[in-house]
């Protein structure tokens, strides 16, 4: 619980910092160059692709770095339930997974993949079309992204879950990152602030993962069955 509190605290501080940054540093005169816009887009798209790879193969980069630890983890999990779609093959987690072509997939990860793909296409469109110089539009995008993230956190910790809603909410989660990144960039006209926002997006995503794992642990602890996967 202490770990969860730390993540929520740092995520909240990141929110406050971005909020202050946007409202204290609006740039009403300078426009961003295409090269800066391209740089931000490449970093964002690369981050989305990295996120997609993690949604399909969780912690693959850790497994490469820590091969020895990975072997010991494999041994310790033999006594636990099999995992299907990143979740225990248990009826309690039925609403956490969806079935695609007779194969179970994590509903949350599937939503993150969809959101990442949509965000990549939106970022490409953002590069092609000349963005509006009206700051009101970008403040609107900023508030949309700003509101999406805490709403998704609430959906994750909510006891009852519908798999389709969970897919949609996680898709919107990444779209919130897109809205925040381009709005901070356009409002401040500073690509460094945009990159900082992308870094914070990883923090907010990691907080979402920690909240999800905490919720899984609670489900397992209240379950009457003796097998405990979390």
Tell me what the mean pLDDT of segment 9-38 comes to.
86
Reading phi first (left if > 0) and then psi (alpha if -120 to 50, else beta), residue 101 is in left
Mean pLDDT throughout 25-30?
A: 71
Q: At 71, is the pLDDT very low, low, confident or very high (cuts 50, 70, 90)?
A: very low
Evaluate if residue 114 carries a pLDDT over 90. Answer: yes
Ramachandran angles phi, psi of 225, nearest 5°:
-75, 150
pTM of the complete model beyond 0.75: yes
Which of 40-54, 62-76, 189-203 is predicted with the least confidence, judged by mean pLDDT?
62-76
Q: Is the pLDDT of residue 69 over 60?
A: no
Model confidence at 219: pLDDT above 90: no
Average pLDDT over residues 64-84: 53
Mean pLDDT along residues 190-208? 94
Residue 99 pLDDT: 78
In 31-104, which residue ranges form alpha helices assigned H by DSSP?
34-56, 60-65, 67-76
Helices marked H in 77-162 = 107-128, 135-157
């Amino acid at each position: 619980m202490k770990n969860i509190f730390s993540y929520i605290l740092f995520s909240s501080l990141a929110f406050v910092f971005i909020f202050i940054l946007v409202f204290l540093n609006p740039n009403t005169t300078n426009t961003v160059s295409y090269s800066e816009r391209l740089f931000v887009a490449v970093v964002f798209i690369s981050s989305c692709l990295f996120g997609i790879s993690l949604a399909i193969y969780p912690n693959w980069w850790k497994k490469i770095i820590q091969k020895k630890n990975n072997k010991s983890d494999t041994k310790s999990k033999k006594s636990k339930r099999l995992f299907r779609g990143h979740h225990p093959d248990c009826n309690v987690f039925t609403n956490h997974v969806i079935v695609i072509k007779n194969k179970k997939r994590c509903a949350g990860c599937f939503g993150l993949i969809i959101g990442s793909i949509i965000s990549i296409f939106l970022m490409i469109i953002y590069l092609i079309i000349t963005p509006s110089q009206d700051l009101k539009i970008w403040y609107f995008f900023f508030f949309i992204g700003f509101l999406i993230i805490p709403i998704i956190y609430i959906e994750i910790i909510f006891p009852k879950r519908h798999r389709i809603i969970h897919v949609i909410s996680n898709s919107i989660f990444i779209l919130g990152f897109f809205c925040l990144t381009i709005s901070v960039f356009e409002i401040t006209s500073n690509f460094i602030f945009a990159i900082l926002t992308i870094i914070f997006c990883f923090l907010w995503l990691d907080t979402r993962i920690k909240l999800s794992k905490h919720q899984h642990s609670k489900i397992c602890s209240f379950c009457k069955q003796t097998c405990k996967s979390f």
